[in-house]
Amino acid sequence: MNIIRYPERNDRERITGRSRTDLSELNAAVEKILDDVRENGDRAVIRYEEMFDKAALQSLVVTEKELEEALTEVSEELLDALHLAHGNIERFHRAQAMTVKKVETQPGVTCWQKSVAIEKVGLYVPGGTAPLFSTVLMLATPAVIAGCREIVLCTPPGKDGKVNPAILAAAHIAGVRKIFKIGGVQAIGAMAYGTESVPKVYKIFGPGNQYVMAAKQIVSLHDVAIDMPAGPSEVCVIADETSNPEFVAADMLSQAEHGADSQAVLITTSERMLDDVAACIDRQTEALERKEFIRKSLENSMLILVKDYDEAMELSNIYAPEHLIIATENHEELAAKVVNAGSVFLGKYACESAGDYASGTNHTLPTHGYATAYSGVNLDSYNRKITFQHITPEGIANIGRAVEIMAENERLDAHKNAMTVRIDECKNIYGEKK
């Protein structure tokens, strides 16, 4: 790991910056697959499934029989955990529902906003090195609460042509029935353009590798909305002399095991804590199954020693982490200073794993510094806000002349006239506005 002691102020942007690679070749490869899927539909998707996922498929659809079989293959213990997690995720996201409030901006001028569900959404759930059934709950639960009419889920099959049963169980619990055996770029293309089997959607959600992320950004230019741009996963832990180094090391490693390009950052006010965490990371890594991923990830990771809490929070806000763990005694005080972060975990017992699975918050979050401008997935992500207004003759009398003057000064005569004809009619009701 990279150890940095007391970084200079003018060096903070550099040390918190993410690596940037030339994506021109990757984007070219992704665009070729997307074009093929758009032109050839299911045939192209099936071909890429055999090429990339080594699955020879006759059909892309997960049948009801396969769904029922999956439920029998998942242990009762895991089913109970999935139900508990789903319940918490549902409670947290249902509480985000918007209340319609009408506002009379002037007498006779009433404005309001209504939240309307996106009709068709696509959810991408990675398989790859780990079956992310938790992501099914995170993406599908708010979609169902929002009332999305059509929810499409794509996830890669194994070599046997079957989807991981835990993913199907999670989909069943969350209420998703349109499930397709498609992974990678071809899944994003299928949902963006539609195929003979897969419906075209209006917005695509979900994480993935750099190919999936590139595909999402490419289709978002012209064809479909996406949840957010994203890069490799990351965590930042703020610790002091009161923190538990075993906990801090475990939190950093839980992020590092996502993949070789993940990043874990410790910002601490205590040199002893820095040394203790480094030792704990070395020891804990040896006992972990995915230690090869972890070692590569740790090459990108940092232990940073700073002078005080203010510097720690300033550095964290510049970094804008996907996950921020504040493991200090004064975590409530520091929480008030958080400006840029995807999701924040307070106190020594709030591990990132809790948010990843079962506390109720959503784990689909902005990475790569995008937390400066993007939120994580939430109920609003599945809705559009439509504004309404109603104007009476009294309202025309109150705002009509202002509209005329503004339109006239923008030299938009037709805009002015649309109000003028109404003013002329309303004069008979209210007379001239003094």
Q: Which residues are catalytic?
A: 322-323
Is residue 59 marked as binding?
Answer: no
Is residue 390 marked as binding?
Answer: no
For strand 234-239 and strand 103-106, is the pairing parallel, antiparallel, or unpaired?
unpaired
What is the Cα–Cα distance from 255 to 257, expressed in whole angstroms? 5
Is residue 124 marked as binding?
Answer: yes
Is residue 202 marked as binding?
Answer: no
Is residue 331 marked as binding?
Answer: no
What is the Cα–Cα distance from 281 to 57, expressed in whole angstroms? 43
What is the Cα–Cα distance from 313 to 373, expressed in whole angstroms? 18
What is the Cα–Cα distance from 45 to 42, expressed in whole angstroms? 5
Provide Rg for the chain, Cα atoms: 26
Is residue 209 marked as binding?
Answer: yes
DSSP string for residues in 270-327: -HHHHHHHHHHHHHHHTT-TTHHHHHHHHHT-EEEE-SSHHHHHHHHHHH--SEEEE-
3-state SS assignment for residue 196: coil
Is residue 415 marked as binding?
Answer: yes
Name the nearest CA neighbour of 236 among 10, 6, 18, 401: 18
Is residue 323 marked as binding?
Answer: yes
Is residue 241 marked as binding?
Answer: no
Phi-psi label, residue 137: left if phi above 0, alpha if psi -120 to 50, beta otherwise: alpha
Are 134 and 170 within 8 A, CB to CB? Answer: yes
Residue 61 DSSP class: B
What is the Cα–Cα distance from 245 to 257, expressed in whole angstroms? 18
- Residue count (the chain): 434
What residues form the annotated binding site for substrate? 233, 255, 258, 323, 356, 410, 415
What residues form the annotated binding site for Zn(2+)? 255, 258, 356, 415
What residues form the annotated binding site for NAD(+)? 124, 186, 209
What residues form the annotated binding site? 124, 186, 209, 233, 255, 258, 323, 356, 410, 415
